[in-house]
A and B are shown apart, each in its own frame.
Chain A
Amino acid sequence: MNKKTLLTVSFSILFILALVKLPIQASAQNMSSDNYEIIDPTINSGGDDSSSSDNYKMEFSAGGEFNDERFESSNYKVGSGTGYTFMANVPKISYFEANDEKMNNICGYGGCYDRARFEIDPQNNPEDTLYSIEISDNDWSTVNYVDGITHQIKTNKDIDDYQTINSWQNGSWSEYNILGLNSQTEYKIRARALHGDFTESSPGPEKSTNTTNTTIFMDLDVSSESWRSSNPPYNITLGNISTNSVVTAPNYIWTSIGTNAQGGATISAYDLHGGLYSNNTDNLIESKNQNLETADSGFGIRIDTSKRLLDTGDPGYLRENLEYASSETNSVGGLSSSDHSYKVVLCTLRESTGHCNQGTGAPVHLSRTAIMLKAKASLQDEASDDYSDTITFSSIGTF
Chain B
Amino acid sequence: MNEQVKNSGVEISPSYFETQLVNSQNSSTYSLKITNYESKPIALELSLGEFDQTPNTLMNYLVSSNKYKENIEPHVITVEAEQTRAYEFKVQIPQDCKAKETCNLALVLKLKPTDEETTTTTFEQAIPLYVTNTRNTEEDNYSMKSSFEIKIKVPKIIISEETNIKIETKNTGDTYTEPDIYAQFYNLKLLNNERQKKTEFKNIYNNGVKILPKKKFGKEIRYSTNNLEHIEIETIVEEQNQTIKSQSTDFWIIPPKFVIYTAVIIVLLTLITVSLIRFKVLSKILKRSK
Contact = CB atoms under 8 A, between A and B. Distances in A.
Interface of A: 110, 114-115, 147, 149-152, 154, 172, 179-180, 183, 213-222, 227, 229-237, 253, 255-256, 258-259, 261-266, 268, 309-312, 339-340, 342, 344, 347, 349, 356-361, 365-366, 368, 388-399
A216 B12 contact: yes
A311 B1 CA distance: 6
The size bracket of the interface on B is: 35 or more
Contacts of B58: 263, 361, 398
Contacts of B118: 233, 235
Contacts of A264: 57, 59
Interface string B126-168: 1110100000000000000000000000000000000000000
A357 B241 contact: no
Nearest to B37: A219
A9 to B, nearest CB: 36
B27 interface: no
Interface in B96-116: 106, 108, 110-111, 113
Contact of B64 (A219, A255, A339, A395): A339
B74 interface: no
Interface stretch (B38-46, B247-255, B268-276): B38-46
Q: Which 7 A-B pairs have the closest CB atoms?
A: A219-B9, A263-B209, A233-B119, A396-B126, A229-B7, A216-B15, A229-B8
Contacts of B55: 357
B1 A394 contact: no
Contacts of B73: none
A359 B57 contact: yes
Interface centre among A215, A253, A392 (most CB of B within 10 A): A392
Contacts of A214: 13-16
Contacts of B59: 263-266, 344, 347, 356, 361, 398
Nearest to B114: A233
Given A234-B119, A399-B209, A366 B1 contact: yes
Nearest to A147: B241
A183 B16 CA distance: 11
Contacts of A361: 57-59, 207, 209
A74 B58 CA distance: 50
B110 to A, nearest CB: 7
Contacts of A218: 9-10, 123, 125
B121 A393 contact: yes
Contact of A398 (B9, B10, B39, B60): B60
B184 to A, nearest CB: 9
B95 interface: no
